[in-house]
Structure 1
């Protein structure tokens, strides 16, 4: 069998395998959050998000809205040097992000079943 035929058979089988995988994995909500930062962000975003009194005041004054906060939490970066991750019963995480092209620092208290946004610093 010639080399070009081998390559043709390989590519044909490989493409059939890709189609089968795409068919089976189409509806799955799989993600690959392997790094510590990605795991923390995913953990916070899967929980019910509550707001402290200071953040509620910012939302009621229309300085920021909850959708913008949620987006900032999704796209933010965790600063572990400023965070207190081992605090009992809930760890405190500092997340740096952008809201309306301004850098903000979000302080989130991450408990077992809820996450509370404690503060927003512009």
Structure 2
């Protein structure tokens, strides 16, 4: 009898856990999905995506394309060796991304309220 009682409690706990898991995974894969950024690259890019974009005056007109910049901020790789992450008030990041078979590098200043796009090479 003790075994059946323990099995019953086990199944109750298992079913409650499965219900929570289903709701959590559904929310993660839904429209407003939860985004888990544990790695530094992901955290920096997510922070930069949440701010307004400003283009530097020295940036050529052909690179003042928000879709191009968004592709950098979605799929780019931050080069922390070249980046200046300790400067104040704005940190400077170098983000590389392959676009149309060419490797491009974006230099951006991440300030508190905005992201200033400095150059694309």
- Bin of the TM-score, shorter chain as denominator length: 0.7 to 0.9
Match runs of 1:14-33 below 5 Å: 14=14, 17-23=17-23, 26=27, 29-33=33-37
Q: 5+ residue gaps in structure 1?
A: none
What is the CA deviation profile of residues 6-49 of structure 1, one whole-angstrom value per residue up to 9, with x for unaligned ones? Answer: 7xxx7997576334433355255322211212111111111111
Query: In the alignment, which residue of structure 2 is the partner of 1:35?
Result: 39
When the two chains are superposed, the root-mean-square deviation of aligned CA atoms in Å is: 2.9
TM-score (normalizing by structure 2): 0.75
Match among 41, 48, 69 for residue 44 of structure 1: 48
Structure 2: runs of 5+ lacking an equivalent: none
What are the equivalent positions in structure 2 for 1:1-122 lying under 5 Å apart?
A: 14=14, 17-23=17-23, 26=27, 29-55=33-59, 57-59=61-63, 65-121=65-121
Structure 1 runs of 4+ off > 6 angstroms?
A: 10-13
* TM-score for the superposition, normalised by structure 1: 0.74
